[in-house]
Every structure is written in structure tokens, then in C-alpha cells.
Amino acid sequence: IPLGVEAFLPSASVLEYWDFFDFIFLIQGIFVATIAPEMLCGDRRENVLALYFSRAITRLDYLLAKLVAAAILTLTISLVPAAIYWLGRQFLDDKPVSAIRDNADDLGRIVVCGVLIATYLGAIGLMVSSFTGRKSIAVAIIIVGFVISTSIAYALAAAIDGEFTRYFLVLSPADMIGVLSYRLFDRPITDIDSDFGPVFSLWQTVAGIVGTIAVALGVMYWRYVPND
């Protein structure tokens, strides 16, 4: 739709890349909530984990494979549409080849943002799914969890106003993704600043996201260790 509008109105700027990643969080969250339980709940419910681990794979191999699979599927939402949008905008330029060369750095930012978001949300979804063998329960908890965690982050930021307020941002996946996309494209973040104070830099945001992924993997690994 944005490409169609920009084709007829070249001066229009309907949707910027950083807005895209922030805008589709709800779609990505629902998508992850549907695929993550499929990755883990079935294996637990059908009691096939012993069969997996009787082979020459470790529990970490199993969990990393599931995370990669979930991330690849989520890339169809977080990366592919944004990359198509980037390519379409270059073809709308009067000199497409020059536009592709001049805006290659934007494509690099899109790839980094898309991969981080896909892995981040996939890890959270799998962590929740590791606690139950019921897919419907996992789906509900993941969706509600995204909403509740954001509410908790804002509530804590409002109740505890001080130097460490901005660290509550880690509890809100939606805002972490928003900060990541805006920082990657070097755009101002006014709305989140007003709620959490001066928010993270780009590298602090990336560290928070990678740290969340590591914690999620740690929790999943702990969930599967008792099966020894």
C-alpha cells in the first residue's frame, strides 16, 4: 500500500522503515504466539524428547535448532516485507541503480533490525512454550504476556521515578523493538523518552535484546535438564 501511494505521489512519505518495525509488533507477536508452541509443545505432549536425546544431539542443540527455526519463520514478517518495501522504493526512483547504491546502508539496517527482532520474539515465545505441553495455553500466555509485561514496565516507570527508570524498558518487548528501530535509523524517540526518561543507546538496546535472548535460552535449558 505505501509503495502504491508513493508511486502516484512521489513526494509522499507514507511509511518509513523505523515506523514499519514499530507498527507491525502486534502482528509479529501474534505470529510468534502461534508458531512457538508448535516448536516445543508437541514434542513434550507426545513424550518424544527421550527419542530425540537418545541421538547424538544435546539439549542445547535441540533448543538452538528450535530458536533458529522460529526466527527464520518470523523473518517472513519482520524482514521480508521491509526488504521488499526498500527494493520497491529504489525502483520508484528516477535512477534505480544509483538509488540502490546510495541506500544500501538502509538495507543493512533493515536486515540487522529484522534478524534481531525475529530472534528476540522467537526466544520469548519458546521460553513460554517450554513450560507447557498445551499449545492453546501457550498461545494465550504469550499474547497476554506481551500486553501485561508492557503494562508492568509502564507502571513501574510511573511508580519508581528515578535514575534507574529507563531499565524498566527491558520488560516491554514492544518498546524495546521501537527503540531498536529508531536508534538503528538514527531517529529521535520522544514518546518513550517521556515515559522512561533518557532511553538506551543503540548498543545498550542491542545488549538488552541479546541479554533477553540469552536468559530465555537459559530458562529453556533449565526446563529440559530435569529430563536427564
Give one DSSP letter per residue of 61-112, joined into a string.
HHHHHHHHHHHHHHHHHHTHHHHHHHHHHHHTSSSHHHHHHHTHHHHHHHHH
- Residue range 141-148: mean pLDDT, rounded: 90
With beta carbons less than 8 A apart as the criterion, state whether 179 and 192 touch: yes
The reported pLDDT for the residue numbered 206 is 94
- Residue range 11-29: mean pLDDT, rounded: 84
What is the spatial distance between Cα 19 and Cα 41, in angstroms, rounded to a whole number? 34
Q: Which residues contact 187 (CB under 8 A, 6 or more apart)?
A: 16, 18
Does residue 2 have a pLDDT over 70? yes
Provide the terminal-to-terminal Cα distance of the chain, rounded to the nearest Å.
52
With beta carbons less than 8 A apart as the criterion, state whether 175 and 192 touch: yes
Give the count of alpha carbons within 13 A of 100, CB side only: 7
The reported pLDDT for the residue numbered 86 is 92
The structure's pTM equals: 0.88
- Residue range 192-208: mean pLDDT, rounded: 79
Only one residue has cell 519463520, namely 73
How far lies 112's CA from each of 50, 84, 154, 181, in Å?
A: 36, 15, 27, 10
Could you tell me the three cell numbers for 205?
538496546
Does residue 228 have a pLDDT over 50? no
- Residue range 195-206: mean pLDDT, rounded: 82
- Residue range 97-120: mean pLDDT, rounded: 93
Only one residue has cell 527491558, namely 170
Dmax over Cα atoms in the chain, in whole Å?
63
Give the count of alpha carbons within 13 A of 227, CB side only: 18
With beta carbons less than 8 A apart as the criterion, state whether 17 and 87 touch: no
Give one DSSP letter per residue of 187-206, joined into a string.
---HHHHHHHSS---HHHHH
